[in-house]
Amino acid sequence: MAEDVLRRIMATHILNFDARRDRAGRLCLAPDGRLPALTGRVPAAAAARVAALIAEGAFLKAEAAAVEAVARYTDKMAGVAREAGVEFLLRDICWQAGPKGANETVLRALGLPGDGVLDEAARAALRGAEHAPGPLLKALTAARDARGAAEAKRAAQCLRIAQGLSPRRYAGDVYAVAAE
């Protein structure tokens, strides 16, 4: 139950980065009747369902359906990381660059060679790096920034959210550094 709630929280943050909203905070359709935040990333049927719900005025149902569509697409990154903050960053990178782009970003952050496939050695390196999530989150953000300047602002916002999703571990890293 808690994992599903966390999954939806992550998907909501990702949707909020891209969604157009009206003054009341409701999802908005583009003039052509599409929902640009979902177009090209989720199955056309799911995007059409959300657009139809918005057109009907069922905004809460549309929001829930859009969040679920984002979550399903980014579920490709579920289980790659054990740390919630790291998983959030991977989900957001997956949303922006696709699963292969997210894998390439992980490999770049860990300093490993690769072709966009996370093998067992890469997964083991990631699990080892997750014991100190602060430096890993910053490495993932830097590797993401290397993908293009357009993602830099979004990467900084995602880093703050990711740090908030794992406050105890991240705070522990900060306190350990301060104590030295």
Q: Which two tokens stand for residue 10?
A: 């992550």
Residue 92 has a pLDDT of: 92
Residue 68 has a pLDDT of: 95
Residue 10 has a pLDDT of: 93
Enclosing H/E stretch for 66: helix 59-74
Residue 166 has a pLDDT of: 67
Residue 59 has a pLDDT of: 93
Smallest CA-to-CA distance from 105 within 145, 153, 143 is with 143
User: 104 in helix, strand or coil?
Assistant: helix
Q: What pLDDT digit, counting tens, does each position of 111-147 carry?
A: 888 777 888 888 889 888 888 888 888 888 888 877 6
Q: How far is CA 49 from the centre of its chain?
A: 22
The pTM is what? 0.81
Q: Which two tokens stand for residue 162?
A: 């990711």
DSSP state of 37: T
Helix locations, 79-166, DSSP H:
84-110, 120-129, 133-145, 152-165
Q: Where in the chain are the domains?
A: 2-74, 79-179
Residue 149 has a pLDDT of: 54
Residue 168 has a pLDDT of: 53
Q: Tell me which residues of the chain have a pLDDT lower than 70.
A: 1-2, 147-153, 166-180
